[in-house]
Each structure stands twice: as structure tokens, then as C-alpha cells.
Amino acid sequence: MRDRSFVPSRILIYLSVSLIAVAYLAPLVVVVLNSLRTNEEIAQGSMIGWPQHLAWSNYAKAWSGFCVAETCAGIRPYMLNSALVTIPATIFSTLLGAVAGYAVSLWRFRGDNWIYGIVTLGLFLPQQMRLLPWTIVLRDTGLINTLTGLVLIHTIQGLSFTTLFCRNYYIAIPHELIRAARIDGAGFFRIFWRIILPLSAPILIVTVIWQFTHIWNEFLYGVTFTTGQQQPVTAALIALSAAIADIPQHGVQSAAVIIAALPTLLIYLLGGRYFVRGLTAGAVK
Amino acid sequence: MTDVVSTASRPGRRATSDVVRRLPEYLMIWVPLLLSAAHLISFSLWTIWISFTPSTLIPVSGWVGLRNYNSVLASRNWQIAFDNLLLFGSAFVLLSLIAGLLLAILLDQRIRGENVLRSIFLYPLAVSFVVTGTVWSWLLNPGIGIQKLVHDLGWTSFRFDWLIDRDMAIWTIVIAAIWQSSGFAMALFLAGLRSVDGDIIKAAQIDGAGPVRTYWRVILPTLWPITITVVVVQLQFAISAFDLVRALTNGGPGIATQLPALVVYDLMFQRGQLGRGAAAAVLMLLILLAVLLPYAAWRYVQRRQATHA
């Protein structure tokens, strides 16, 4: 319980918490260590082991050396693809979601509850229900196998989350503030720019972190709508492990995995508090 | 200024120019929301429609009634996927609830380094399932992972080969899924524990209740609304699980770890059976609704009780 008097139970608590923490960290530690071991060293033993000498060359190979299918450019082009999809889609969906959240919570207009209700259904609708229509739409607009197509998808689909996050945050802003500004003659954009946006920093950080993490980590759309050189890094990782299944290169693969996971891990380390807030906000709906 | 008065007093031209003046505002409000709402509704209807057509490699019109549904439901692929979903869904949800609750209770003991520990339990959620699935596929691979390590250490009869065992392979997905997302349950439970009224706890202690009893009788019962939320969110994840399985087992060995989302993908993009793939997607949606509709009803009742109280 919540008193510190009983020492043995405290020791037990610390012991179990530490053991569980080790279990949670173990996969990460194993991959980091592997990324510094040579492929031969791993092949002789197992994936779990201490590097005999640090093979930094794994990272160079993973970044720009190894081959997927015919191209030998490492993971770099796919990292670039992921960045070129994730950054614009995060910015667009967050900004549009902020405006939409403000419109349905504070500005109010006829039908706002209805449209908001429908938009939030997007939180629940499985991706599988949209796969075929997106395929057809992208093909007919010539956006299949382009990064632009993925940006479009993630912007439109992200709106369900970003609108919800912002709306739930803005709903706490006193309506009198908006009413007074309207009486003073301020319009939709002016109120957004002068009143809403300056109050929005916390929720915009939550939303940006949420969107960035989700779009960067997304796999199904990436693998369905793009091929070869256009794929985001998640899809490329799967292609990579299929491509080198015959001659395992676990050291290089581990380095590639670390590189691919690094952007979202860094964001988590820097903004963990906001990340958790997004998780719980997304759950409570 | 006061738009209402001016449009009311002179409806005609003034109203039109008002609409023109406010056009950017209308566009900004309606275009994103309408695009989002329209794609959700039309794409759902579109997929449902395709599921009733004889489409194979390309979508075609025509009506085959429930034929696609019947053939999906009769296929071994789907039956295995559905059985796996039942097993994976219940085991994963139950075990991650227990793990999450245990972690939350441990972290709630005013321990040092709580922030660091919380970050450790939650970091897997920031990493993509493709990455964690790949890593777990190495660790659980008997040839290079944990089993090999134990063999190299001298215990050569040790066996941990679930990944290539048809009957046990689904449990590797349970392990990886729990590792990745029990932190989520922990975060919600911890928030719940922190919001328990301190006076109730003090009262229980004054009554002579020990720590275990206080938790069991006083604190945990207040957590059940959070528990339901956690269950629903985790079930939603289990039903549409794709990336993790694709990276960890890819449905194998054979089709032993097939799940509905993999069946949908397989039918649509590998076998060129669009009609059946769409039917499988609709079946997935129906499974999801079987979870979400009762939850929505429960939430509705809760809210009404809250407003009436």
C-alpha cells in the first residue's frame, strides 16, 4: 500500500519493477548490440550477444549500401520517402484538424454535430474497408505509386483524429470569448488566428506527435499503394528481410531497423508526456 | 458587424454578397470535413457493394448475392483466421489487462524513478509494428534467437520453438503484442489509480484493511469503466492486427497464424479476388461492430446517468 514502513515489501516492489523493465528493454538492447556485431559473428553464435569489436560499418551499409531487389542504395531512399510523406501529411492534417475542431466546437454552424459525428467514425472504420476504394481512386487520378497519393490518404484519414483532438481541447474555451470577438466584428479566420491559435500550443504538440508517429509507422497503405523505389521505410524493411533471407545479414538488418525506428523513438524521448496524452485522448474518444 | 440584423433587414443582394464575402470561411470549414465524411461513407458503401459483385481482378458490376460471403466463410483460410482471432484476441486482451494493471499498481507505490520506468514500459508504442515484429521474429527464431543462446550456454535440450510450431505460433504474436501494448493499459490504469479519492483509502485503512484488501475491495472496483475502455481499444487493435503478424510470422508456418486482416489482403492483392476480399473486409467490420456497438450503448447509458445524477 501507500506507506513506506514495511521494508521487505518495498524491496519486492523494486525487484519486480526492475525485472519487468529489463524485459521491456531487452529487445531494444539486443538489436542495438546486434547492429554493432559483424554478420559472421552473429552467424556463429545467436542474435543475443556482446559485440567482440564494434562494427560501425553495419550502419554505413544499412544507410546507403545493401541491396533490396535490384537497387543497392541502402535504406536512405526509403527513409527519405517516409519523411516526404510523414512531414507534409502531419502538417496538413494537423492544421486542417485544428480549423475543423475550432469550427465544430466554438464557431458552430448548421449541421456541425452531424458532420463531426460522421468524421469521428473514421477512428473505428478498419483500413481494410478503404483499401479497394483508395486503390481505384489513386489509379484513376494517377496518384498510385506516388508519395503524393500517400500524403493525400494520410491527410484525409488523419482528419478524424486531429479534428477530435482539437475539438475536445477547444470545447473548454469559454464561448463568451468567441461571442465577444464576433460582436467586435472579428470573423472566422481572425478569431482563429488571434484567439484560438495562441491557446493551442499544447494540443498542437499532442496532435503533431500523434500524427507523425502513426504515419511514420504505417505499413498497410505503404505496401499496398507503392512499390519499389516509392515505398516508405516500413514496407522497405519487410522487402529487405525477404530479400536477404537466403544470406542472412543480421548485423546490417539490425542497423537498418534501428535507423527506421529512430525518428519516432527520438520524438517519444523528447515529447513523451505529449505522446501519452495523445494515447489516452485517442482512447477515451 | 451584426450579420444577423443586416441580412434580416435586407435579404436580397446583401445576403448574396455576404455569402461571397464569407466564401473562404465556408470552404475552409466544409471542404476538409466533407472530404473526410464523404470518403468514410462512400468508401464503406463502395466496399460493401463490391462484396456483392462477381469482381475478381478488376471491380465489375453485377450481383451475386451472398456468394462471396459464403465462399469466404467456407474457406479454411478464413476459418483458421477466425479461430486465431478468438484465441489471440482473448489471450492478448486478458493478459495485457493483467500486465497493465500490475504495472500500474507497482508504479503507484510512490517508487523512485517512476518517470523513467513509465517511459520504459511505454516506448514500444512509439515504434512501428514492423520493427517490433521483425525483432521478435529474430528473438523467437529457434535457429538464431533465445533457443540458440540457451543451447550455446550448454543446455542443449532446451526448446523454445513456438515460432515454427503450428500449434504454438499464435502465442508468439500474443507475446509480441503484449510486450508492445501493455504499456497502454498501464497508462490508463495509472491515471485511474491516481484519481481514486484518498479519503476512501484512508477510511479503509482506519477500518483495518491491509494493502491487498484495500486494493481488492476499495480501489480496483473504481477502475472498471477504465477496464472496459482498455478492453475495447485492445480488441479493436486485435481485430485489425496486420503489420505485427506480417513482420513476425507472415501468417505461417503454413497458414497457422492467419488473421482476418491478412486474409483480406491476400484475397484482394495476391489472389486477385476483389469480391471475396471485400466480403472478408465487411466481415471484419461486422466483428468490430459486435464489439463497438455494445460499447457505444454502454457509453450512452453512462452519460445519461451522469447527466441525470
Query: In sequence order, what DSSP letters do the residues of chain B get, joined into one string?
Result: --HHHHHHHS-HHHHHHHHHHTHHHHHHHHHHHHHHHHHHHHHHHHHHHHTTS--SSS------TTHHHHHHHHSHHHHHHHHHHHHHHHHHHHHHHHHHHHHHHHHTTT-TTHHHHHHHHHGGGGS-HHHHHHHHHHHH-TTTSHHHHHHHTT-TT----GGG-TTTHHHHHHHHHHHHHHHHHHHHHHHHHHTS-HHHHHHHHHTT--HHHIIIIIIGGGGHHHHHHHHHHHHHHHHT--HHHHHHTTT-STTTT--HHHHHHIIIIIS--HHHHHHHHHHHHHHHHHHHHHHHHHHHHHHHHHHH-
Q: How far apart are CA A121 and CA B181, in angstroms?
A: 23
C-alpha closest to that of A255 among A244, A269, A268: A244
C-alpha closest to that of A111 among B11, B7, B300, B30: B30
Residues of A in contact with B145 (CB under 8 A): 46-48
Within a domain: residue B284? yes
Within a domain: residue B203? yes
Contacts of residue B157, Cβ cutoff 8 Å, sequence gap at least 6: none
Q: How confident is the model at residue A6 (pLDDT cuts 50, 70, 90)?
A: low
In the structure grid, which three cell numbers stand for residue B216, read together?
481488492
**For residue A92, pLDDT beyond 90:** yes
**Collapsing DSSP states into helix, strand and coil, what is residue A68?**
strand
B19 and B139 in a single domain? The answer is no
Interchain pair A264, B128: CB under 8 A: yes
Task: Please give the mean pLDDT across all residues of chain A.
Answer: 90
Interchain pair B35, A189: CB under 8 A: no
Q: Place domain A76-283 in its CATH homologous superfamily.
A: MetI-like (1.10.3720.10)
Interchain pair A47, B144: CB under 8 A: yes
Q: How far apart are CA B134 and CA B145, in angstroms?
A: 12
When comparing pLDDT for B6 and A154, which is higher?
A154
Share of residues in chain B with pLDDT > 70 (%): 95
Residues of A in contact with B247 (CB under 8 A): 237-238, 241
| Cβ atoms A201, A117 nearer than 8 A | no
Most confident option among A50-59, A237-246, B20-29, B44-53: B44-53
Per-residue pLDDT, A199: 92
Q: How many CB atoms lie within 10 A of CB A281?
A: 18
Per-residue pLDDT, A285: 52
**Collapsing DSSP states into helix, strand and coil, what is residue A71?**
strand
C-alpha distances in Å from residue B69, one per residue of B64, B78, B85:
10, 11, 18
Q: Which residue of A has its CA nearest to B260?
A: A128
CA triplet A205, A211, A63: central angle to 5 degrees?
A: 105
Q: How far apart are CA B292 and CA A264, in angstroms?
A: 30
Interchain pair B281, A21: CB under 8 A: no
Q: Which residue of B has its CA nearest to A245?
A: B138
Interchain pair B281, A2: CB under 8 A: no
Per-residue pLDDT, B13: 62
B131 and B24 in a single domain? The answer is no
Interchain pair B40, A119: CB under 8 A: yes
Per-residue pLDDT, B7: 42
Interchain pair B139, A47: CB under 8 A: yes
Within a domain: residue B75? yes
**For residue A94, pLDDT beyond 50:** yes
* Span A118-153, pLDDT tens digits: 999 999 999 999 999 999 999 999 999 999 999 999
B45 and B78 in a single domain? The answer is no
* Span B248-272, pLDDT tens digits: 999 889 899 999 999 999 999 999 9
C-alpha closest to that of A95 among A150, A158, A172: A158
In the structure grid, which three cell numbers stand for residue B157, read together?
535440450
Q: How confident is the model at residue A284 (pLDDT cuts 50, 70, 90)?
A: low
Interchain pair A257, B274: CB under 8 A: no
Q: How many CB atoms lie within 10 A of CB B190?
A: 23
The pLDDT of A178-203, averaged and rounded, is 92
| A156 → closest Cβ in B35, B41, B139 | B35
**For residue B71, pLDDT beyond 90:** yes
Within a domain: residue B119? yes
Interchain pair B240, A126: CB under 8 A: yes
Q: How confident is the model at residue B156 (pLDDT cuts 50, 70, 90)?
A: confident
Q: How far apart are CA B219 and CA B247, in angstroms?
A: 39
Residues of B in contact with A264 (CB under 8 A): 126-128
Q: How far apart are CA A238 and CA B273, in angstroms?
A: 24
* Span B90-148, pLDDT tens digits: 999 999 999 999 999 999 988 888 999 999 999 999 999 999 999 999 999 888 889 98
Residues of B in contact with A235 (CB under 8 A): 130
Q: How confident is the model at residue B282 (pLDDT cuts 50, 70, 90)?
A: very high
* Span B2-14, pLDDT tens digits: 444 444 445 556 6
Interchain pair B187, A159: CB under 8 A: no
In the structure grid, which three cell numbers stand for residue A66, read together?
545493401
In the structure grid, which three cell numbers stand for residue A115, read together?
458532420
| B128 → closest Cβ in A99, A159, A217 | A217
| B25 → closest Cβ in A189, A250, A269 | A189
Contacts of residue B297, Cβ cutoff 8 Å, sequence gap at least 6: none
Q: How far apart are CA A223 and CA A232, in angstroms?
A: 8
Domain count, chain B: 2
Among the residue ranges A2-6, B68-72, B92-96, B283-287, the one predicted with the least confidence is A2-6
Interchain pair A130, B43: CB under 8 A: yes
Q: Which residue of B has its CA nearest to A103?
A: B29
Per-residue pLDDT, A246: 63
The pLDDT of A88-94, averaged and rounded, is 97
B147 and B229 in a single domain? The answer is yes
Chains A and B form CB pairs within 8 A to the count of 257
Helix (H) or strand (E) holding A70: none
Which residue of A85, A129, A244 to mutate against B (max B Cβ within 10 Å)? A129
C-alpha distances in Å from residue A144, one per residue of A225, B44, B149:
6, 20, 45
The pLDDT of B154-161, averaged and rounded, is 87
Please report, for chain A, the start and end positions of each structural domain, with discontinuous segments joined by +. Answer: 6-56, 76-283
**Collapsing DSSP states into helix, strand and coil, what is residue A64?**
helix
* Span A54-82, pLDDT tens digits: 888 889 989 987 776 667 788 999 999 99
Task: Please give the mean pLDDT across all residues of chain B.
Answer: 89
Threshold 0.95, pTM exceeds = no
Within a domain: residue B65? no
Within a domain: residue B293? yes
Interchain pair A48, B149: CB under 8 A: yes
* Span B169-218, pLDDT tens digits: 999 999 999 999 899 999 999 999 988 888 888 888 888 878 888 888 88
| B281 → closest Cβ in A25, A42, A128 | A128
Within a domain: residue B62? no
Which residue of A109, A128, A191, A209 to mutate against B (max B Cβ within 10 Å)? A128
Within a domain: residue B57? no
Give the CATH number of the domain where residue B134 resides.
Answer: 1.10.3720.10
Among the residue ranges A10-14, A215-219, A281-285, B179-183, the one predicted with the least confidence is A281-285
B15 and B119 in a single domain? The answer is no
Domain span holding position B42: 2-50
- Number of alpha carbons in the 13 Å side-chain half-sphere of residue B228: 13
Interchain pair A131, B268: CB under 8 A: yes
